Amino acid sequence: MKALVLVGGFGTRLRPLTLSVPKPLVDFANKPMILHQIEALKAVGVDEVVLAINYQPELMMSFLKEFETKLGIKITCSQETEPMGTAGPLALARSKLIDGSGRPFFVLNSDVISEYPLNQMIEFHAKHGGEASIMVTKVEDPSKYGVVVLDDDTGQVERFVEKPEMFVGNKINAGIYLLNPTVLDRIEVRPTSIEKEVFPEIAREKQLFAMVLPGFWMDVGQPKDYISGLSLYLDSLSRSCSDKLAKGSNIVGNVIIEESAEIGEDCLIGPDVAIGAGCVIEEGVRLSQCTIMRGARIQKHARVCGSIIGWMSSVGKWGRLENLTILGEDVHVWDEVYSNGGVILPHKEIKSSILNPSIVM
């Protein structure tokens, strides 16, 4: 089976992290986002993942080369010379997606995190016999998504409305599709939107079916959603009794800590914290609802809450970072500095406090 992951876009909403790497390579729960997806695809028997890329393909491919062998899956790239939207890339990669077997292929948006119930999707697709299946999930504010109106008994999609201006329903497109090869006959090689041009047409022909996604879902393409997404992800690990969660008297709620990280005496860590490889968390540090990426150092008695600390950065003694403070790669915050929502670009030193949410260039 084949799969295509849409990895276009510049990830502007996840700056400053995306100033160092493309969005799919930003770590989420101690692992680049795209690896969560590739592993899930591999687990259901996908043997080739095509990355539909429109910029910096070299960076992505050189990083993923290592995982081709580690995971035993072929990873190839289909590069656009101009952004082709969310459907055009499928037409461009046509020869890679069709293997002559007539089997359906997966398509994934690259910025969503879920439990990826892909086996259930394969069963659902075989059962309804239509041309295309999509996963849907319920959200409170559907206006920033594609809204799907479906028959709750059969799953048949009646309408697909991308970014509706008026309320049509609260089930939204989760960005996970399983499509028959015939869908490719509907798409031309030109910039086009699967949500606006392809799905509404398949729905009109009663060939589009939607399955309500079991478990959690989050588009983690912006800091606030990234932080709540981590909490949902860790909660799902906890419900499956995963042994990846840290244990100990210094741990509160759900926390993951890479084995090579060092944790000092008298720290209190959690809930909803991810600590990456090689991090050093010194004595007496307090961490909650935050991600500390690979190689970062948090010095004695600092407190980090509701924030993301980028790769190789450091927070000085008695520092206090909160309210969506985001440090890019290699940022150094001096002792005793306070940050309320500071967004700091890579390779900076922060010597004085940031009292209100702002960007430091």
Q: Which two tokens stand for residue 315?
A: 């927070």
Q: Which two tokens stand for residue 13?
A: 């909403």
Query: Residue 13 is inside which H or E element, if any?
Result: none
Distance CA 293, CA 313 (A): 8
344 CB-contact burial (10 Å; exposed 0-12 / middle 13-18 / buried 19+): buried
- Contact residues toward ligand GDD (CB under 6 A) are 6-9, 52-54, 80, 83-86, 89, 109-112, 145-146, 162, 172-173, 175, 195, 219, 221
CB 279 within 8 A of CB 259: no
Nearer of residues 50 and 308 to ligand GDD, judged by Cβ: 50
Minimum gap (Å) between residue 219 Cβ and ligand GDD: 4
Given Mg ion, ligand GDD, none, residue 284, with its beta carbon under 5 to 8 Å by kind, binds none
If one asks whether residue 131 binds Mg ion (CB under 5 A), the answer comes out as no
> What are the residues whose beta carbons fall under 8 Å from the beta carbon of 89, sequence distance 6 or more?
4, 6, 8, 52, 78, 80
Could you give the 3-state DSSP secondary structure of residue 309? strand
Which of these segments, 66-74, 111-119, 276-284, 310-318, binds Mg ion (CB under 5 A)? 111-119
Nearer of residues 134 and 312 to ligand GDD, judged by Cβ: 134
Nearer of residues 80 and 322 to ligand GDD, judged by Cβ: 80
Given Mg ion, ligand GDD, none, residue 270, with its beta carbon under 5 to 8 Å by kind, binds none
Which of these segments, 39-47, 56-64, 109-117, 252-260, binds Mg ion (CB under 5 A)? 109-117
- Within 219-258, the residues that bind Mg ion by CB under 5 A are 219, 221
Nearer of residues 209 and 217 to Mg ion, judged by Cβ: 217
Given ligand GDD, Mg ion, none, residue 342, with its beta carbon under 5 to 8 Å by kind, binds none
How many residues contact Mg ion, by CB under 5 A? Answer: 3
Alpha helices, DSSP H only, in 180-309?
199-204, 223-239
Minimum gap (Å) between residue 140 Cβ and ligand GDD: 14
Minimum gap (Å) between residue 54 Cβ and ligand GDD: 5
8-state DSSP, 142: G
Distance CA 146, CA 321 (A): 35
Tokens 């969503």 correspond to 112
Could you give the 3-state DSSP secondary structure of residue 37? helix
8-state DSSP, 231: H
- Within 206-225, the residues that bind Mg ion by CB under 5 A are 219, 221
Given ligand GDD, Mg ion, none, residue 83, with its beta carbon under 5 to 8 Å by kind, binds ligand GDD
Given ligand GDD, Mg ion, none, residue 54, with its beta carbon under 5 to 8 Å by kind, binds ligand GDD
> What are the residues whose beta carbons fall under 8 Å from the beta carbon of 274, sequence distance 6 or more?
27, 29, 30, 230, 234, 255, 256, 257, 290, 291, 292
HSE-CB of 325 using CA atoms within 13 angstroms: 26
Nearer of residues 89 and 270 to ligand GDD, judged by Cβ: 89
Given ligand GDD, Mg ion, none, residue 223, with its beta carbon under 5 to 8 Å by kind, binds none
Minimum gap (Å) between residue 158 Cβ and ligand GDD: 16
Nearer of residues 198 and 220 to Mg ion, judged by Cβ: 220
C-alpha angle 104/194/176, rounded to 5°? Answer: 50
Nearer of residues 120 and 222 to Mg ion, judged by Cβ: 222
Q: Dihedral (C-alpha) 225, 108, 89, 173: value to the nearest 10 degrees?
A: -70
Distance CA 33, CA 56 (A): 17
Could you give the 3-state DSSP secondary structure of residue 132? strand
| Residue of 6, 26, 60, 111 that binds Mg ion (CB under 5 A) | 111
Given Mg ion, ligand GDD, none, residue 172, with its beta carbon under 5 to 8 Å by kind, binds ligand GDD
Binding residues for Mg ion, per CB under 5 A?
111, 219, 221
